[in-house]
Amino acid sequence: MSLPAVAVSQSPEAKFREYLASRPKPQRFTDQQRDMINYIFSQHDHFDAEQLIEDLKRDGLGVSRATVYRTLAKLVDAGLLRRLEFGPRMFYEHDYGYPQHEHLVCEKCEKKIEFQSAAIESVIRDVAQQHHFQASGHTFIIRGTCRECNQAKMTKRRLDLI
Ligand SMILES: [Zn+2]
Ligand SMILES: [Zn+2]
């Protein structure tokens, strides 16, 4: 389940190449980085570094752990990915070409539900303005239990009563 994509002028790879070239010390675009970008941008997902390392290995893409961590940091810096603290682990998701949205996170099954809210956007804008704060981004996460987990709990309670 993902939100409709936002039109962007460049491919993620082109945007990342531009970022590397514009560094104070321009960096080379590597095959490993291309493999990572192709994989990450093939579908919208919330993933952590360890999961990505496993997935790349499963697909036969030999990207070292150090390269994965270093490239993820660069992809965030380049504005392609954003970081999300859903819990103790750091998650990543597309930022480039994907609309601004917030999350509901289930503490039981770890499901992430995306939603958009003009009201939240407006409150955040107002608060930033009141503090003369130049907002560059925000993370808004609602934690709890999802519908399926709530239903499972209720069914279990009912069975316990029988
Ligand atoms: Zn759940
Ligand atoms: Zn998301």
Report pLDDT for 12.
Answer: 95
Q: Where are the domains of the chain?
A: 1-98, 100-162
Which tens digits make up the pLDDT trace of 110-129? 999 999 999 999 999 999 99
Report pLDDT for 152.
Answer: 87
Q: Which ligand is nearest to the CA of 108?
A: 1
Q: Which ligand is nearest to the CA of 105?
A: 1
**Tokens, residue 7:** 């039109």
Same fold, 1-98 and 100-162: no
Q: Which ligand is nearest to the CA of 151?
A: 1
User: Which amino acid does the sequence have at 32?
Assistant: Q
CA distance 135 to 127: 10
**Tokens, residue 137:** 């981004």
CATH code of the domain made up of 100-162 = 3.30.1490.190
Q: How far is CA 78 from the centre of its chain?
A: 14
* pLDDT tens per residue across all 162 residues of the chain: 678 888 898 999 999 999 999 999 999 999 999 999 999 999 889 999 999 999 999 999 888 999 999 999 999 999 999 999 888 889 999 999 999 999 999 999 999 999 999 999 999 999 999 999 999 888 899 999 999 999 988 888 888 877
Architecture of the 1-98 domain: Orthogonal Bundle (1.10)
Q: What is the whole-number distance in angstroms between the Cα of residue 70 and the centre of ligand 2?
A: 22
Report pLDDT for 154.
Answer: 82
Report pLDDT for 1.
Answer: 62
Residues 6 or more apart from 102 whose CB is under 8 A from it? 114, 115, 116, 117, 120, 140, 141, 142
